[in-house]
Amino acid sequence: MQYKDIICLANSRKYKAHCFAGKECESLRWSRPVSDSEKGEVDEHSMRYKDGAIPDLFDIVRIPVKSLSPRPYQPENFIFNKGEWAKVGVYDQSKLGALLDSPASLWTNEPFNNRIPASYFTQNKITSSLLLVKVDNCRLQKSSAKKQIRALFTYNGGEYDLPITDIHIEKEYENKHSGLYKLNDKIIVLCLSLGEPFLSVVDSEPCCYKLVASVIRMTEGPEIPQKSYSVDAIRKDHPNAYVKWSPEDDKKLKNGFLSGKDATSLAEVFKRKIGAIRSRLKKIGLIN
């Protein structure tokens, strides 16, 4: 029987079951075991170790492989075979830097920065629906209405507001009052995932929403190194990319938006990416 040894970087909630994801020990490629059910969720019984425990962050888990099952929006999927999942080691958390990804943006931020239309994947090939990134200014928002917990953070100049499916965070904040909670840990690393296509009332087609599958908090140790990306290359097409917004810029953006210009037109005016325009419009309260 074929097996994969995977470093657990997320064991999150998926419907009433789980979604496990991590990087393969040898190749460090992303890998996600799924069941043969329609949505691929993993029931808790299937993933339990011999001692009854379930996989935790940084466990190295040996999982039996039945077959590969790539999808355009989740190319790293494979169907796990019947058989016991086994913990064969624990990854050294101090070496987390070796596992980090460093994209210029979180997949694409156009036309939205929190979800990707399913049609995008018919014309664009992604290498993985998972990312492990170090973020800044991370806060957790607990809503009283939906009892949902969301992560608000900044990555490479873009501002994000994404739902959390991390089972540990959900349990930790279950009995907390609604509100905004600042994470004061020295280093915050998030495992991000694209969910199954979902048609919401605000969209004309199904979209894959960006989810926070795990929140990794580190209070000690050196700064985690991250691969650099080329701002110069991005600025060839968007000269003002990652330049700080001034009060004058905000006023001009507001006037342009209220006059009827869309994000594409404003991106041309400000020489920034469309995703940056949408993030700033949200920041100054002009869009939700």
Write out 73-104 in H/E/C secondary structure.
Answer: CECCEEEECCCCCEEEEECCHHHHHHHCCCCC
The span from the CA of 103 to the CA of 126, in Å, is 12
Strands of the chain, DSSP E:
3-14, 17-24, 30-34, 59-68, 77-80, 86-90, 115-117, 130-142, 149-155, 158-163, 179-182, 187-198, 207-218
Give the whole-angstrom CA distance, residue 285 versus residue 283.
6
Token code pair at residue 56: 């935790």
Whether the upstream peptide bond of residue 75 has omega within 30° of 0, thus cis, is no
Q: What is the mean pLDDT of each run of 10 residues along the chain (288 residues)?
A: 95 91 95 91 93 96 96 96 94 91 90 93 94 95 82 93 94 90 89 95 94 90 51 77 88 92 88 86 85
Cα–Cα distance measured from residue 58 to residue 6, given in angstroms and rounded to the nearest whole number: 9
pLDDT confidence of residue 227:
47
Among candidates 197, 115, 111, which has minimal Cα distance to 163? 115
Q: What is the pLDDT of residue 212?
A: 97
What does the block give as tokens for 162? 């994404």
Two structure tokens written together for 167 = 């089972």
Structure confidence at residue 145 (pLDDT): 65
Write phi, then psi, for 172 (nearest 5 degrees). Answer: -60, -35
CA torsion sign, 277 to 279 to 282 to 287? Answer: positive
Question: Could you tell me the two tokens for 23?
Answer: 């990087």
**Model pLDDT, residue 222:** 44
| Residue 97: closest CA among 164, 187, 210 | 187
